[in-house]
Chains A and B, each alone.
Chain A
């Protein structure tokens, strides 16, 4: 268990561990025995190891849900719901600004400078960025484009969606928490029967083999 000390600390601190944020730990977590050992260790703390459906990101869940835990989860859920729209709009904005054909996915590299430059040249992107940056989730007070972009990336880093490998370099990597966010969206859509285009069967192609 000694060698997993730093990993446990990160998990206990509420972090999401994925292949991008900690490749080594993530590989350890792929091992069922390690997961069981960590679960045993966490038992007295009323926590257990959990992952998203895809298994691309790990985090700690309550083992027993008491009243206090439910209160905390309710608050957290409402925070998540409140941050949903700005986060999703950001994903769309990045995709459009950088001219990519897909949404940002774990491991993708994002450079604030490139993002700024693209928004600067395009009035519509510029306006959307402005609106997004001043949203209470991102909370930018500035009317300068660069400062707004900086604030966006800062907040996303704080929330664990982005990772900055070198503090002195303005280069960010998308983490596996994005997968978690997408799954949350999918869950809400299915659970609330929202009238949103139901995706095609993902498994259909594999079934051909």
Chain B
């Protein structure tokens, strides 16, 4: 390693370290107008100025970030408002030409070390050129994909889009400066130069060219959209202002024109109504199922108040008991019919056997009245025997103790 090279390395590393050491202060300078100097000693400031990290436009003004450092920060942050697109092709080409010449000179003199150095610098220059195009294209895509989200106003977006389109034109102009016929003549028959300056470069540049064209197309599309939105906003605010100023404004009746504008010909709604039909057997079954599935209405049917004949609860209770008694007695008659003829059944015995809870007297009374209530023809089918005794010797009152019923033979 030569002395020059090691000195370069040492100084370069020292100066790069300055960036890290003063990082926060430099970032403040990036976001503001000037770099704040409070707390910074003279020697540190001198070092920063010597490394061209900072510069002072004139004695009166404050200390500012140098443009290259500003670019570096913008590039690292992908800060699209500040990122510069600069592919200075003409100068690079000039440099490439002179490097090729000195490379050939070194080769013809047999100075291998110098030859290697020149080739290395050529490679770096070509890489730089590529890198600048790649960065520029990356920055353009970033802006495009965010819909220029780093500015909020539509008019700013339109301006930013316009600026990006101009950058693309400049980049395309730069690409057009690279004349491969000239480069082919320049490199001659040298294999490594040919590979570096012709085949590799051509491949990469054609890739950049395609990307630039694509991004340009998309930017134009986006611009059209922005303009459309802008036109809409203007149209709406213009119409609102007009209608507020002219509250009575009524446009002419377009519907009465011989040729009604397509926009205003909107036919009246037509509802395709349908009702359940029962003329198809299959469907009527489906309808029946649907009917069954209908949820029962949640609201209870309203009871209609109407006057009823005055009826005390006891009356209806008595009627119910009367009905129950009558049914029990009928069951007794049926039991008699099931018996062999001429075998009488005692009504009271039946009452006790059946565990019925009627009072004896009431039971007997009902059995007798049932018998008397039968039509004459049916009455003859039964024989009713009353077990009775005189109540007293003085009158003819008789007490019935029991009745026995039998089927008449």
A positions within 8 Å CB-CB of B: 9, 12-14, 45-47, 50, 52-53, 59-62, 65, 69-70, 72-74, 76-78, 80-81, 84-85, 88-89, 91-92, 95, 99, 101-103, 105, 180, 182-189, 191-192, 194-197, 199-200, 202, 205-206, 208-209
Docked Cα-Cα span, A14 to B272, in Å, equals 12
The answer to whether B224 and A206 touch across the interface, beta carbons within 8 angstroms, is: yes
Nearest residue in B to A101 (C-beta to C-beta)? B154
B positions within 8 Å CB-CB of A: 152-154, 157, 217, 220-221, 223-224, 227-244, 250-256, 260-272
Rounded to whole Å, the gap between the CB of B98 and the closest CB of chain A is 39
Q: Which one of A91, A192, A208 lies within 8 Å of B236 (CB-CB)? A: A91
Known A50-B262, A209-B217; contact A69-B267, beta-carbon cutoff 8 A? yes
The answer to whether B228 and A202 touch across the interface, beta carbons within 8 angstroms, is: yes
Q: Which one of A12, A50, A186 lies within 8 Å of B235 (CB-CB)? A: A186
- Chain A interface mostly: helix
* Known contacts A73-B264, A76-B255, A88-B236, then 6 further A-B pairs from the complex at CB < 8 Å, ordered by chain A residue: A12-B271, A14-B266, A60-B266, A74-B253, A101-B157, A195-B242
| Residues of chain B with a CB closer than 8 A to A80's CB | 264
Nearest residue in A to B262 (C-beta to C-beta)? A50
| Residues of chain B with a CB closer than 8 A to A78's CB | 250
Rounded to whole Å, the gap between the CB of B160 and the closest CB of chain A is 12
Nearest residue in B to A70 (C-beta to C-beta)? B255
| Residues of chain B with a CB closer than 8 A to A59's CB | 266
Docked Cα-Cα span, A206 to B263, in Å, equals 25
The answer to whether A14 and B153 touch across the interface, beta carbons within 8 angstroms, is: no
Docked Cα-Cα span, A13 to B271, in Å, equals 5
Known A69-B267, A182-B235, A205-B223; contact A188-B251, beta-carbon cutoff 8 A? yes
Docked Cα-Cα span, A167 to B240, in Å, equals 32
| Residues of chain B with a CB closer than 8 A to A101's CB | 152-154, 157
Docked Cα-Cα span, A13 to B231, in Å, equals 32
The answer to whether A191 and B235 touch across the interface, beta carbons within 8 angstroms, is: no
Known A59-B266, A60-B266; contact A192-B252, beta-carbon cutoff 8 A? yes
Docked Cα-Cα span, A65 to B253, in Å, equals 14
| Residues of chain B with a CB closer than 8 A to A52's CB | 263
| Residues of chain B with a CB closer than 8 A to A9's CB | 272
Docked Cα-Cα span, A86 to B397, in Å, equals 105
The answer to whether B237 and A92 touch across the interface, beta carbons within 8 angstroms, is: yes
Q: Which one of B154, B220, B234 lies within 8 Å of A209 (CB-CB)? A: B220
Nearest residue in A to B261 (C-beta to C-beta)? A187
Q: Which one of B231, B244, B262, B266 lies within 8 Å of A202 (CB-CB)? A: B231
The answer to whether B234 and A197 touch across the interface, beta carbons within 8 angstroms, is: yes
Known A101-B153, A188-B251; contact A92-B265, beta-carbon cutoff 8 A? no
| Residues of chain B with a CB closer than 8 A to A180's CB | 263
Docked Cα-Cα span, A186 to B242, in Å, equals 13
| Residues of chain B with a CB closer than 8 A to A12's CB | 269-272
Q: List 15 A-B contacts (CB under 8 A).
A: A14-B267, A47-B267, A60-B266, A76-B264, A81-B250, A85-B240, A88-B243, A99-B152, A191-B252, A194-B238, A197-B234, A199-B231, A205-B227, A208-B220, A209-B217
Most buried by A among B232, B242, B252, B253: B232
Nearest residue in B to A91 (C-beta to C-beta)? B236
Nearest residue in B to A63 (C-beta to C-beta)? B267
The answer to whether A65 and B260 touch across the interface, beta carbons within 8 angstroms, is: yes
